[in-house]
Structure 1
Amino acid sequence: MWSVPVALVLALPAAVWWGSLPDPMASHWGVGGEPDGSLPRAAALALPFAVALLGLLAGRRNPPIAVFMYVLAVLLQGMSVWANLDRADWRDARHLPWWAVVLMIGLATLAGWLATRLAPRREDVPDGPVQTLDLPPGRHAVWVSRCTNVPMLAVGYVFLGAGAVALLIVGPGGAASPVPPIIAITGVVIGLAGLLVSTIRVQVSERGVAVAYGPLSFPVWRRALPAIAAARTEDIKPTEVGGWGLRGLPPHTTLMLRAGECLVLEYPGGGRFAISVDDAARGAALINTLKNR
């Protein structure tokens, strides 16, 4: 899941040089390169996180877009910290010439282009008969399966614990604390997100499909059988969907915890939800069987 290392890279300058940056910070530069606008320090350092989040949302179906936004966010963070470093007032921030902005956008574009060239191309899955089970009339059946990405789960716990401890260190001191508040909050958010998408429990019954997220199996996403056109399996690699975790936006979403066979729910109006889970073929077959009743 590329969002985690990108968040680490974005958070590192804020953690290392928090006390050496003015508050507020210069956040905008004029045509001549002189600083002409500012934001509170926490907001200025959080702005690249927003750019990276846009990349995560807009690029899940197109990994090169995500790469472009991720690289742009990292360069923005580095440029902002460098320009404000060791300045007592944001008006004294270093000048940024126009060519620096052009170079930054050019490098991000180059990274996106390389991602386009290097990303594997997926072939369309041919249509075919759906698999069903021999379930006699009147018989009831329930299918339950789990899947856990242990490294993601461990990273989630580490970030959540570190973020919680950092928040306690921040305490009422706020900006005067040795731990920047933005770093503590970022750790908690990354930890919670990592835990939610690191382990899942999928259940198929006559009530439909229920996907429970996280070690506590909460929250739960539900889909009734009439809202599913068909179910099938498909072998998917993380590189084909842009990485690990929850990739894409509805109605084209993939929950990628491991490479290999995934349970794919196809929607009547188009779109799909692919879930990497064990014994996916049996779950798909039960969905199709229950829908045909």
Structure 2
Amino acid sequence: MTDRMKRAGGGGWGAAVWIAGAFALLAGLPWAASGRLPERVATHWSGEAPDGSMPVWAASLFPALIWVVLALGAVLMARRANSAPIPSWAGAALAFTGVSMAGTQASIVRANLDRTDWREAGSTGMGIVLTSVAALAAGALGWIAGRRGELPSPAAEAGEGTSMEIPAGERFVWLSRTANPWLHLIAAITGVAALAAALAAACGLFTGMQWAVATPFLLASVLTLMFSSVQARVTDKGLEVAFGPLGWPVRRWTPQDIESSRAESRTAAQVGGWGYRLSGLGTTVMLRAGECLVIHPHKGAEFAVSVDDAARGAALLNTLSTRRPE
């Protein structure tokens, strides 16, 4: 399986879960609070006063259908353009629109909560402001993650081996990525669960437990996403291993830090599971079984990362580590 196919699998599952989760939240929030809402709910405001309303079923269904049309439109446009699995513009659009619509729905439900008539609904001003800030932040993160996925993957032009010859005055760069679609799926599911609990708390649907439920789901989503993909890059500055769609955190070794490098086949059973693992073999970033780039530092335990074309990266590192620093 190529690196592009792996990224497509992870990005596709994540996008599917996000689209389905946002649909469920938009459709489900008014129904979850229907016992505390008037028969018609205020859905539009002129200043501080509501001036438009819908039945509860329409307030649930209408924004959910709009979201599905917009989300599927973005996915189809990305496919027709034959671009990256989740290109930057599509990632930004899905993140911004999903958070914006879910936050707006939560604000509407909260404004109508425990009112006997929709004309008595409270203001949505502060909720819309907070939603706009969160949506802009989500859109920016989606854009950054998409830009990283669109980067090319150049490889040093030399054959496999323990080292390679680099002509004087020339510089080679080796770059490889790996993503685990199942970890992407887990991160998306726990992220949607955290968003659902946070929106329920913002709506005031229940009392006391929503933030206690949302926080562990949010932490699980962030940590899983952080270690669900990895990018390894070798330049004349050494090895850089960046984690997650945003390329953070990052581990770095200079050529002088590395005693030797090699390609080695490893499995999850050998290193104790998936993700960032510590074992008798040292530290392994295990996202898929098979070829790994393994470095043996002058100090500390070995470090391995499961990426394609590891032999070429190891050969370039071995050549760089034998050079004297300028």
Q: TM-score, normalised by structure 1?
A: 0.51
Report Cα offsets for 1:40-65 as digits up to 9, x if no partner.
Answer: xxxxxxxxxxxxxxxxxxxxxxxxxx
Q: Are 1:151 and 2:178 matched, yes or no?
A: no
* Post-superposition offset of 1:211: 1.1
- 2: CA distance between counterparts of 1:208 and 1:173? 52
SS at match of 1:184: helix
* Post-superposition offset of 1:221: 1.9
Q: Which has the larger radius of gyration?
A: 2
SS at match of 1:243: coil
Q: Could you tell me whether the CA contact under 8 Å between 1:174 and 1:180 is conserved in 2?
A: no
Report Cα offsets for 1:202-242 as digits up to 9, x if no partner.
Answer: 11001111111111222322221111111111111101111
* Post-superposition offset of 1:148: 0.6
Match of 1:275 among 274, 286, 305: 305
Match of 1:139 among 170, 179, 182: 170
Q: CA RMSD in A?
A: 2.4
Q: Could you tell me whether the CA contact under 8 Å between 1:174 and 1:181 is conserved in 2?
A: no
How many residues get paired? 163
Worse overlay, 221-230 or 272-281: 221-230
Match of 1:198 among 228, 235, 258: 228
Q: Are 1:163 and 2:189 matched, yes or no?
A: no
Report Cα offsets for 1:107-148 as digits up to 9, x if no partner.
Answer: xxxxxxxxxxxxxxxxxxxxxxx7001222222101001001
- 1: CA distance between counterparts of 2:280 and 2:299? 12
SS at match of 1:140: coil
Match of 2:207 among 158, 176, 181: 176
C-alpha change, 1:174 and 1:137, in structure 2 (3 Å) is: farther
Q: TM-score, normalised by structure 2?
A: 0.46
Amino acid in the other structure paired with 1:240: Q
Q: Could you tell me whether the CA contact under 8 Å between 2:271 and 2:281 is conserved in 1?
A: no
* Percentage of matched positions with identical amino acids: 38
Q: Could you tell me whether the CA contact under 8 Å between 1:264 and 1:272 is conserved in 2?
A: yes
Q: Which runs of 5+ in 2 are unaligned?
A: 1-160
Other-structure match for 1:189: 219
Match of 2:271 among 222, 241, 253: 241
SS at match of 2:264: strand
Other-structure match for 1:209: 239
Amino acid in the other structure paired with 2:215: I
- 1: CA distance between counterparts of 2:204 and 2:280? 41
- 1: CA distance between counterparts of 2:289 and 2:281? 21
Other-structure match for 2:20: none
